[in-house]
Amino acid sequence: MSLEDAAAADDGRDLASYDFDGDVVGRIQSCEGPAPASNDPGPCTPPPEAAYRYREAHRRYSLGLLADAALPSSDRLWHATDTLAAGWLTAAQGLLAACLAHLPVLLGAALGTPPHAGVRDHLPQVRHVAVTSSDLLPSLAKLALFRLDRFFAGRDVLSSRVHGKLECFARLRDRFPGSAAFVAIGDGREEEAAAAALGWPFIKVSLGRCTLGRAEKGGVPLTSLTVMEIAGALGI
């Protein structure tokens, strides 16, 4: 499930004065319900009333309104969460920013593009995509609350709850054809198996430690995972 799936049911109605509280979406089963039968033909589509909510959530997410405007105490919440997670949010922000800054240069050098001024626009692009087993709307809210939304465009957040992570990964492969290279990072067996099925390198992480490949022990602490280790998984 992605925002693109929701958009398929959106008729483009002007939502400026739309009464979200008064429509019938609460009495209609949306896409993010129980998993469909195995012979389901493809991504399910929510009703228009639900699609309006996805569009409004996407608008707020893109403007950074899911956290700051709705929760004046978001600063305290973020710092408390980061403390409880032993600095995971700070580390995640730093790693994602470093990937955007340095991986294009490393990839460009591997492809023979020298890292001098004026060639940045011609370097390979790096894109972060989140595939989550949670529902789509709560996942967008969580990324916003964790202040990771600036690293993940709304259309690059996918929920695997209905069809599983292998199908989500396959859709990403089809979205970025040609010379695109992928690295999957996660802490679950499902994403590890999905990455293996598509031949993608996988970096297994946990709350305490990070292991490269399939090794269950050793490696580096999660908060110390570096761009160079991700580049190494890409073979550069």
Please enumerate, by residue number, every residue annotated as part of a binding site: 187
Separation between Cα atoms, residue 157 and residue 27, nearest integer Å: 26
Separation between Cα atoms, residue 17 and residue 172, nearest integer Å: 35
* Residue positions forming the annotated binding site for Mg(2+): 187
Do 124 and 108 contact (CB within 8 A), yes or no?
yes
Phi, psi at 229, each rounded to 5°: -70, -35
- Give the 3-state secondary structure percentages of the chain, helix then strand then coil, rounded to 5: 45, 10, 45
Helix (H, G, I), strand (E, B) or coil at 212: strand
Number of alpha carbons in the 13 Å side-chain half-sphere of residue 167: 16
The sign of the CA dihedral 209, 213, 218, 224 is negative
Do 187 and 176 contact (CB within 8 A), yes or no?
no
Strand partners, 204: 186, 211
Do 194 and 160 contact (CB within 8 A), yes or no?
no
